[in-house]
Structure 1
Amino acid sequence: MSMETRPKTVVQFDSDAVRIHGKPHILLCASLFYFRIPRRLWKERMLQLKAFGYNSIDVYFPWNYHERREGEWDFDGERDVAAFLDTAKETGLWVVARPGPYICSEWDGGALPAYLLAKEDMKLRDNDPAFLGAVASWFDRILPILKAYQEGEGGSVIAVQLDNELDFYGCDDPPGYIAALRDMALARGIAVPLFACAGQGGLPQASGLADGVMPTCNFYPDDRDPEFEEKVLHYRRTLAERGYPLLVTETNRAHYLLRRLLSCGAKLLGPYLQASGTDFGFTNATNNWGKPLAFMASDYDFGGMISPEGHIREEAYEGRLLGRLIEAYGASLAEAAAEEDTVWTLEGDAVNSAGPFALRLKTGGSLLFVTNLEDRDKEAAIAPASDANASVSVSFTLRAGRSLTLPSQVPLIQWGWEGVLEYSTAELYMAEETAGGTVLALHTEGRGEIGLKFGGPVEVSAEQAAVSGQDGTVIVRFDGQTDAACVIQDPTGRRLKLLIHDRLKALHMEGLDENGDARIGEALRYPDLPSEEAAADWTLGGFEASEPMTAPNERISRDKADYLEREGIYRGYAWYEAAVRVPEGRSVKGVLIRQGSDAVSLYAGGEYAGTVTPGGGTAYIPLGEEPANGRLVARTEIWGHSNFDDIRLPALRLNAMKGLRGMAAVTEVRELSRNWSLYRAKDRTLRKEHIEPADDGLWPVVGFGGWMSPDHPAFEYYRKSFAASEDASSWTLHFQGLGSLARLFVNGEEVGAVHPFDPYVDITPYVTAGETVRLTVFLERVLGLPAGRVTLYEGVEAEGWTISGAEEEALLEHAKSHRDAAVQANFPVTLQAGETAWLQARTVNSEQGSGWRAKVSGSGLKLTAFMEGRIVGRLWLPCESNRPVVTGGSPDSFYLPGVWYADGKAALSILLEAVDPGKQGTLESIRFVSV
């Protein structure tokens, strides 16, 4: 289209610096997500980040948070984006805006609305007209808000990201897709720089190298990777060749690592999730952080600077220290260039250390970065690489797990003095002008010295330090055991004061007093004291677990089961009801759940059979006894749509839908692992004669995968037949423990590959009841990998389906309807396997008005906790058999925000589900710890 793809703006991301209104800046940028923090706490979090060194925030804008159903938009209350951006402007923080359309962020579906999944033939995150049409509707709402809050137009938005880590996804046309998003952004008035971040280093795959869209990097290394700088410098060079700076839009939260990135010339340091939060409501995701399936906890906390409830952690003080260092060197550091040539060397105990890496400051001199990659202290010295004997620096202590930034030949002019800071073994981290003169604050963790050179004679006085030198040369030596100070005065009476203290004091330094002396504070502490009075009047109201929570007239009748999204159910719970007609003389041994996700609890004849998390695949649930009738009920819960795309499980695909596609009552379980006829092939080329009927009388008869072969890999055909029962209507093969590549053929027709993570194959379409079924499996076995066992599940398909769903509002109504019949409850609370109940109480706010952290102890239970109509936590307590991996934060606690209490009071309602088959579910206690 005929529009300028590189808009002019007050924000410029040049290869040498980020400039805002012409002034260069290093952006220290923390994630802060309005959708995970109560609105009344937005400003508090922003002030906390600013106080601890950060000058900018990055924020996602989740599409499905604002469009919960197609065409139903909400930007009010907790969803008021304009209010959030207004607060950022008021607080003085720049904003890196990330409106997607896909955001990842361990958020339900990566923020793509679930209604998109039910659209036929739509290609998500690609140059697809149907998808881009839907995106246009979202951009029509969100981008005008971002435009109004751009830097220079009334706000502080300085950049806008398009999509997110596209290189992790199988996009067919990255250039076309990113260009389409770019054009949409420009057409809606976005004038600040546009960028696209690479998640695994694929700059073309992430950005399409589209004109006007800057590629950026996300790095999540081992913080002590000894070759990390080598990798980062590669990307710095690659980006510089294209006229872009190195912007690290996501990385780990340790400032130790951020220093290493700074040493490579990064102009934006974006640690992900320094301010933690909570996934309120049904907004959790599932993803591949488990084995591979994982359920994301409601508590969204990776251990960053600020906890979900707003507690300041120790790492925050590291952030303030780094922020002060960046500010101390100012524009000269913001425009610094990484020195790629080896100019410096590390002498002494240099094993398993990174560096020195050098940044050449704009006004002259360098900053030298050295990093200890081990958990032991070292003594080292920095010397010029060209002449190791001409070191201008004495040895210094490099503490375990530390990264230091040391000055070399830095002109003092940027602090208003004629002269040079020639070297220092103490890190200069603060520079301020006071009424008494200029103050430079440095920290050390051992003895050392500082060398300065002035243009003429100066007067020097010192406390707890030895001073020597002449003709304008000043050398200050200190023992590192006590605080030291040195005052330098020029002939005009101007004073330069050096403050030298230990690193702990630097971390806790609050500022300078009127005399230019340090004011040292203390780390904030938060007592872990539970309250016995936080909650009272506990009641327990059980209800029939196998009955849907919805009224009969709200249930949908279907001939076949289908995914929930196709029925307009996008989040929460749903119930599938069906009947099975078991042939006379047959008994039901178990039930197959087909293509089920996320959590499926089965009731057969009203009795609990078990809970499974099939990951979108099939699961077999054995029945302990014959069901009283043919009624099957599956209670399903959409824990969350995958925020990532992983081919290992069906439910981990980005376009995966939830619920289930069918159930079958299994009347016969047959072991098929024995007596397969085997043919050993030479290669993986499929040959028709080995699949179709042929004389296989001379083929060896062995167990499945049991041929001892000298080949690697081994290519083998396995054939076996069985007789299908006349009264069955469902046949499923289970390749349990399969670790090899397998392709299945039934009666000569190819069914497809057998997936090791979803090893059930429904062969019903290829089978005729009462006839012989010929199975052929082409197996490609790699040395040491098993072929597993083969089982046949035979039975009858369920029919006569009804489907219904319940989101937050319906669940709350159900809870209210059971209050009158509830009885007083005391801890421990116990439920029999499969039982469900509402546990309810009234709570009061903490004395500070900040709410509570509720810590839950128990086993065998799944909990959905509501506070005043909002879901504040979804927990799955430890079970002996079927609990999925729960990760991303605390799996056994939830946060009750104090700002959500009305007049100091709030109702607490917790849905309890006993989900450990054969085991009692027990809630031992809930401890309320004041925030």
Structure 2
Amino acid sequence: MEPGHGRFDPARGADDRRLLPRPEVPLRNGHQRRKRGSEVNRTETIEAVRVDGRGVWIDGSPRTLLCASLFYFRLPREQWRERLEQVRASGYTCVDVYLPWNFHESAPGRWSFEGRRDVAAFLDLAHETGLYVIARPGPYICSEWDGGALPAWLGLDTELRVRQNETRYLERVTAWFDQVLPLLAERQYPANGPVVMVQLENELDFFDCEDRAGYVGALRDAALGHGVTVPLIACSGQGDLAGATGDVDGVVPACNFYPDDDSPDIEAEVRRYAGLVAERGVPLLITETNRRHRTLRRLLASGAKLIAPYLQSSGWNFGYTPSTGNWGRPGNFMSHGYDFGGYVTSTGARRPEYAEAQVLARVLDTWGAQLTLAEPVLADERPACDFPTSSVSAALAFPEGGRLVAVPHLGADPGTAIVGDVPVAVAPGSCPLMAMDVPLGAWGIDVTLTLASADLVAAADGVLVFSSDVPVTVVLDGTRAEVPVSERVTLAGVTVVVLPSAEAARLRSVDADGAARVTDAPRPPAESAPTAVREVRRRFDAAPEEPAGRHTLAPSLESLGVYRGRGAYRTTTDLTGVDELLLTGAADIVDLSVGGRTHPPIAEFGAARRIDVRDVPGSVAIEAVVEIWGHANFDDARLPALRMGALRGLGTLWKVRGTADVSALWTVDGHWAGNPSPTRVLGGWSSTRVAEPVTYCRTVRSPTPSALHLHGVIEPLRVSVDGGAPETVHTENPWVLLPAGTHRVAVTLAHHPSGPGLRAELLTLEAVRDWSCAAQNDELLADFAARSGPAESVRLPLTLKPGEETWLDVDLPPSPEGYLVRLDATQVRVTGWAGGECVGRVWTGDRPAFSGGDPDTLWIPPGWPGLTLLAQGVEGRDAPGIRTLWLEVPT
């Protein structure tokens, strides 16, 4: 029995093992490889990378891949090698890498693969570091990235339909693939690079794609046409394998799992999908999952051959690249920090989970090929535990005999499990992979390991090394012992060593007598107190604007050439007799001033917003500055600006000329309502047919455009106008816009005996017209930030008026680690630039919900000179101002 491709060799340190072996002769997929030694005259065809029902094969050997997400576009180029080496040192053998289309095509036809966009250099570094790469070029990637990487200008073509088998969209995708796929094909393993798989699309099963087979087939054909020969995969986001792949030949289905780490049912779900993909003759590839290694062990024991937790190595959303709206309320902003608690922080510091990664990697290396080829089975007897554990006991049966049994401890207190009639200790929060009935001949040990209640992390002639933080029960050929942590005993002629997990993570070698040698524990970083910045330079000049013409109605920012950045809208209009305005379709952040009065920012993702203007009669100026935080990366129908491909800008501003309550006089269709139809208030019909749909109809009239406001919407309902296709109305935006005229409106909702308590109001509208526009895209703002100009020194605190903007230059002392900049401020939005690039944005005070990492800091990478801030006062409960800037050295 082969002990495995990555067997731990006591004569070499673990840090010296090659996780990405190079073949003796450069070898392309399907080429001839000549073996040496006794087989020198024999040739055979070996696919360098392939998958089958048993697993993933590289150079003819089976591999279990631990894969960490690591994104070049979320890190300074200067840190790429360090981060890759950090992943390599964790024991992971692979990284998965998104390639964002709109990061490389910043405007139509303007491509860049230089500097931080030099993905070829990143892949070459991964190859040098000894890591495999799973490349994920989309075209859609999600990743909480601006638009999911789909360029913003795609939305300007009203006939183009994203993520569909549609000619206009596929023409754009072809232009992207023509740029990126040759780059990947050139760096396929093993000839010139590390790429072992290429993922097409991303979680397509979340999206309403009309022709999945046609769409995925077109992407597959493009990849093959550009010479991609490594396996093509497509991941499902919610377990719909056909929805993700279209069941297209040549595209391997993969799964993304994001379970509750404490769920007892993870194994049952994963085993189901392992069975489904096995029917297709492919292994279970988990392309995204949680970061906790207890969960990863459970996935391994359930049959996964690729395990890729997202996001192990954290990063940053620089500039205007975050998305909006992926996180369920619906709608929120992604923060500058991009960190979901993986084993490496955004600043590169190791978390405790990093050591867990090293231990699991040693387990995989020690068992090697026999673990990789092991088949998932149900344990013969489910261990009896006095702690919460999984509902189904998962085990891996070795091809040469024996098995590994996973025993997850889902509780917080020390516990005991009965495994094979033997009581064993199990540490809380752990999931030891317990060996049972395993012959040890592969390591020159002529006994059978009847039971070991901990992870085997090294084995050599006459020595077994286990990792555990509780005493380990070992049974060798019927001889049983309980070995304390940090002790070693001789049992059946075998030296058994138990290392605490912290030392096992740092294991380098083991002597013949069982003495373990470990690397020194890393020193904790020296803590330093934050440094206060008390003085800044305030510029006299404001950033320039590019005039963008006059428009009857407010245009989208994208139509003005602003794909990232912001724009200004100005007009003068007569508000005599107008008590309120209605703003529809605005995104992302609207700073509105009416007649000199600044309103709190509007950041409601296109939901209609009523604005009180009773105190500003007559002819007044209206000004709006609209900032793009990011385009939606997830198709969410509940708000207009969260639809995939939705544009940004002011939307439409309306004068409300009149309001009328139209809650009464709705006729009822459905249930047992007869003819003529009864007349009821909206939602007022009563029947015993609970939850069945009932339709209310009414005629409404307005000589001008109007808006129907449905107060009290809780559950989604359907509204049809004049017999047309119904649209869904949600509680987040319970409005229906109507053109001028007479309309028959039908509202269909699920019946509730108590009534939904709906009220309908009709607003007659007049559009505000004649807008003068100006553009400030991200490049213009970055150029201005990089310039030096006349300024005055000012001491903090700095007070701002609502709506006031000021540019501040901040001197930063040199620091090899860079700085985290924290604001002690209220009601301020701040954008920062350094090294010629926008680093990120922070919003203090009243603000929308944020997700991702720390929303309250800016990170200035080392070597990025200068810091320039654009500070904007925001209307809210407190007065806008910056009291202090705090500089922290990241740890």
**Equivalent residue runs for 1:891-906 within 5 Å:** 891-900=855-864, 906=865
Q: Which moved more, 1:151-160 or 1:112-121?
A: 112-121
Residues 1:663 and 2:653 aligned together: yes
What one-letter code is carried by the residue in structure 2 that aligns with 1:910? L
1:351 to partner: Cα distance:
5.0
What one-letter code is carried by the residue in structure 2 that aligns with 1:335? L
Residues 1:413 and 2:441 aligned together: yes
Residues 1:331 and 2:334 aligned together: no
1:680 to partner: Cα distance:
4.3
Aligned-residue sequence identity (percent) comes to 35
Equivalent residue, structure 2, for 1:717: 696
What one-letter code is carried by the residue in structure 1 that aligns with 2:711? Q
Aligned partner of residue 59 in structure 1, secondary structure: strand
1:559 to partner: Cα distance:
2.1
Aligned partner of residue 840 in structure 1, secondary structure: strand
Residues 1:574 and 2:567 aligned together: yes
Residues 1:157 and 2:195 aligned together: yes
Equivalent residue, structure 2, for 1:833: 802
Equivalent residue, structure 1, for 2:781: 811
Mapped to 2, the partners of 1:82 and 1:798 lie a distance apart of 50
**Equivalent residue runs for 1:620-769 within 5 Å:** 620-623=610-613, 625-626=615-616, 629-666=619-656, 668=658, 670=659, 672=661, 676-683=664-671, 699=679, 705=683, 712-713=690-691, 715=694, 717=696, 719=698, 731-739=706-714, 754-766=729-741
Residue 489 of structure 2, aligned match among 463, 483, 486: 486
Mapped to 2, the partners of 1:279 and 1:706 lie a distance apart of 49
TM-superposition CA deviations, 1:755-788 (whole Å, max 9, x none): 4322223334236xxxxx9977566543567344
- Structure 1 segments (4+ residues) deviating >6 Å: 5-8, 684-687, 720-724, 745-751, 773-776
What one-letter code is carried by the residue in structure 1 that aligns with 2:874? V
CA gap 1:186/1:708 in 2 versus in 1, 3 angstroms:
closer
Residue 412 of structure 2, aligned match among 362, 375, 382: 375
1:202 to partner: Cα distance:
0.5
Aligned partner of residue 812 in structure 2, secondary structure: strand
1:134 to partner: Cα distance:
1.3
Aligned partner of residue 556 in structure 1, secondary structure: strand
Mapped to 1, the partners of 2:526 and 2:711 lie a distance apart of 50
Structure of higher CA gyration radius? 1
Contact between 2:580 and 2:612, CA under 8 Å: does it hold in 1? yes
CA gap 1:372/1:607 in 2 versus in 1, 3 angstroms:
same
Equivalent residue, structure 1, for 2:832: 865
Equivalent residue, structure 1, for 2:481: 476
Residues 1:440 and 2:468 aligned together: no
Contact between 1:751 and 1:763, CA under 8 Å: does it hold in 2? no
TM-superposition CA deviations, 1:694-743 (whole Å, max 9, x none): xx9xx56x5x545666653473636587887xxxx553332233225656
**Equivalent residue runs for 1:237-636 within 5 Å:** 237-340=275-378, 342-349=379-386, 352-354=389-391, 356-383=393-420, 391=421, 394-431=422-459, 439-453=463-477, 474-478=479-483, 480=484, 482-486=485-489, 497-507=495-505, 509=507, 512=510, 516-519=515-518, 521-522=520-521, 525-532=524-531, 535=533, 537-541=535-539, 550-551=544-545, 554-582=547-575, 586-623=576-613, 625-626=615-616, 629-636=619-626
Mapped to 2, the partners of 1:722 and 1:737 lie a distance apart of 22
1:611 to partner: Cα distance:
1.4
Mapped to 1, the partners of 2:578 and 2:508 lie a distance apart of 71
Mapped to 2, the partners of 1:159 and 1:241 lie a distance apart of 21
Contact between 1:740 and 1:787, CA under 8 Å: does it hold in 2? no
Mapped to 2, the partners of 1:514 and 1:852 lie a distance apart of 48
1:262 to partner: Cα distance:
0.3
**Equivalent residue runs for 1:880-891 within 5 Å:** 883-891=847-855
Aligned partner of residue 395 in structure 1, secondary structure: strand
Mapped to 1, the partners of 2:520 and 2:313 lie a distance apart of 22
Residues 1:43 and 2:81 aligned together: yes
CA gap 1:867/1:588 in 2 versus in 1, 3 angstroms:
farther
CA gap 1:351/1:745 in 2 versus in 1, 3 angstroms:
closer
1:440 to partner: Cα distance:
2.6
Mapped to 2, the partners of 1:199 and 1:363 lie a distance apart of 35
CA gap 1:721/1:529 in 2 versus in 1, 3 angstroms:
same
Mapped to 2, the partners of 1:878 and 1:258 lie a distance apart of 39
**Equivalent residue runs for 1:887-926 within 5 Å:** 887-900=851-864, 906-917=865-876, 919-926=878-885
Equivalent residue, structure 1, for 2:7: none
Mapped to 2, the partners of 1:281 and 1:47 lie a distance apart of 26
Unaligned runs of 5+ in 2: 1-28, 32-45
Equivalent residue, structure 1, for 2:132: 94
Unaligned runs of 5+ in 1: 384-390, 454-472, 491-495, 691-695, 768-772, 901-905
CA gap 1:448/1:299 in 2 versus in 1, 3 angstroms:
closer
Q: Which moved more, 1:127-136 or 1:637-646?
A: 127-136
CA gap 1:667/1:832 in 2 versus in 1, 3 angstroms:
farther
CA gap 1:671/1:441 in 2 versus in 1, 3 angstroms:
farther
Mapped to 1, the partners of 2:467 and 2:655 lie a distance apart of 71
CA gap 1:909/1:788 in 2 versus in 1, 3 angstroms:
farther
1:175 to partner: Cα distance:
1.1
1:678 to partner: Cα distance:
4.6
1:181 to partner: Cα distance:
0.9
Q: Which moved more, 1:512-521 or 1:32-41?
A: 512-521
Contact between 2:387 and 2:411, CA under 8 Å: does it hold in 1? no
What one-letter code is carried by the residue in structure 1 that aligns with 2:517? A
Contact between 1:11 and 1:20, CA under 8 Å: does it hold in 2? yes
1:745 to partner: Cα distance:
7.4
1:875 to partner: Cα distance:
1.7
Residues 1:877 and 2:806 aligned together: no
CA gap 1:75/1:438 in 2 versus in 1, 3 angstroms:
farther
What one-letter code is carried by the residue in structure 2 that aligns with 1:802? S
What one-letter code is carried by the residue in structure 2 that aligns with 1:87? L
Mapped to 2, the partners of 1:150 and 1:448 lie a distance apart of 44
Residues 1:852 and 2:819 aligned together: yes
Q: TM-score, normalised by structure 2?
A: 0.89
1:126 to partner: Cα distance:
1.8
1:564 to partner: Cα distance:
2.2
CA gap 1:348/1:755 in 2 versus in 1, 3 angstroms:
closer
Equivalent residue, structure 1, for 2:37: none
Aligned partner of residue 90 in structure 1, secondary structure: helix
Q: Which moved more, 1:122-131 or 1:184-193?
A: 122-131
Contact between 1:587 and 1:626, CA under 8 Å: does it hold in 2? no
Mapped to 2, the partners of 1:219 and 1:748 lie a distance apart of 42
1:414 to partner: Cα distance:
2.4
Contact between 1:536 and 1:843, CA under 8 Å: does it hold in 2? no
CA gap 1:723/1:112 in 2 versus in 1, 3 angstroms:
closer
Aligned partner of residue 530 in structure 1, secondary structure: coil
1:82 to partner: Cα distance:
1.1
TM-superposition CA deviations, 1:470-515 (whole Å, max 9, x none): xxx654332x2x521135797xxxxx54211333433454655797
Mapped to 2, the partners of 1:646 and 1:304 lie a distance apart of 27
CA gap 1:715/1:182 in 2 versus in 1, 3 angstroms:
closer
RMSD: 3.0
1:873 to partner: Cα distance:
1.7
What one-letter code is carried by the residue in structure 2 that aligns with 1:395? P
Aligned partner of residue 850 in structure 1, secondary structure: coil
Aligned partner of residue 141 in structure 1, secondary structure: helix
